[in-house]
Amino acid sequence: MKIAFVGKGGSGKTTLSSLFIRHLAAQQAHVVAVDADINQHLGAALGLDEQEAGELPAMGAHLPLIKEYLRGTNPRITSAEKMIKTTPPGEGSRLLRVREDNPVYDACARTVRLDDGQIRLMATGPFTESDLGVACYHSKVGAVELCLNHLVDGPDEYVVVDMTAGSDSFASGMFTRFDMTFLVAEPTRKGVSVYRQYLDYARDFGVALKVVGNKIQGPDDLGFLRDEVGDDLLVAVGHSDWVRSMEKGRPPRFAELEEPNRAALRTLRQAADASYARRDWVRYTRQMVHFHLKNAESWGNAKTGVDLAAQVDPDFVLGEQAAQFSAPQPA
């Protein structure tokens, strides 16, 4: 399952996504975690020290490698330079799988060992000095979007993405790439404003959205969220001494997380797992093509000098069956 954590800045989405990742790892699930927030805090939340977090490879810096690998033998893509962040897979493309080893993971992922398991961690990478004043954030997350467009995941496989704050993800089609989106909201008017934005933008695309209440201090906070988001409120998370210790860099073993918060994480996994039965690969592929054509017309054709609509394979549907026939890895 592909799962996004979103919310306004300071809502606690990175903390909650890291707790969910730890919960999955403790259950021996197969997890690829992606830090798609320019502030790059997920590594630290998963226990990396400052040096280790700073040494994570930036996906954006490896975009040429990612494109060349995913292109495979797809005859509709004449070169990696003609691929953009929305280029969809077709016959001959290489697809990514959660459990495999491949050149993309070799270059962009690092294994992070947690108390009771391990995960792969990938990061978009922060702005560099050369980016300041000339690059937009969305050029960084293009590598994430391209990988998600070529990724096939099955049961007990999880791709957990800590997204950029607010509604910035709607500047691309990446918000449609997930089986479940958990929106982390504080019990304040600002906390629920991002929820309303997501609800409005996502309504026409069938995005599965559930609200996770955070920083809940009592019945009044919980009642406020219920009044504001209704049945979309899935679960609420309260104060955590474990999280406070983690934020100081001294986390206890994950097994010592408070039981009410462990129960909330179990609810999140149940919701994510239930989304597997509802996934629609045909719609997923159609949405991928929709955003590719929009980007091609808006800027992609001018940038690459070719008609990017020709990259669309009308007979291709991404899915677990397609993964059996993708191009082999390079020798």
**Residue 86 clears pLDDT 80, i.e. is over it:** yes
Q: Which CATH class is domain 2-181+239-324?
A: alpha beta
What is the model's pLDDT at position 137?
Answer: 47
Of residues 89, 91, 94, 67, the one with CA closest to residue 79: 67
* Residue spans per domain, the chain: 2-181+239-324
Dihedral sign of CA atoms 316, 318, 320, 324 in order: positive
Mean pLDDT of 58-87: 95
pLDDT in tens, 122-178: 999 764 444 444 344 455 688 999 999 999 999 899 999 999 876 666 767 888 999
pLDDT in tens, 184-193: 999 999 888 8
pLDDT in tens, 200-244: 888 888 899 999 999 998 999 999 999 999 999 999 998 899 999
Please give the C-alpha separations between residue 289 and each of 81, 130, 303, 314, in angstroms, as whole numbers: 19, 32, 18, 9
Distance (Å, rounded) from C-alpha 3 to C-alpha 18? Answer: 12
What is the model's pLDDT at position 132?
Answer: 40
CA distance from start to end of the chain: 29
**Residue 5 clears pLDDT 70, i.e. is over it:** yes
pLDDT interval class at 4 (50, 70, 90): very high
Amino acid at 241: D
> Where would I find the beta strands (DSSP E) of 143-208?
151-152, 157-162, 180-185
pLDDT in tens, 302-316: 999 999 999 999 999
- Cβ pair 124, 62 in contact under 8 A: no
Distance (Å, rounded) from C-alpha 88 to C-alpha 313? Answer: 8
pLDDT-above-70 percentage for the chain: 93
- Cβ pair 148, 175 in contact under 8 A: no
* Matching residue, tokens 């479940």: 180
What is the model's pLDDT at position 131?
Answer: 45
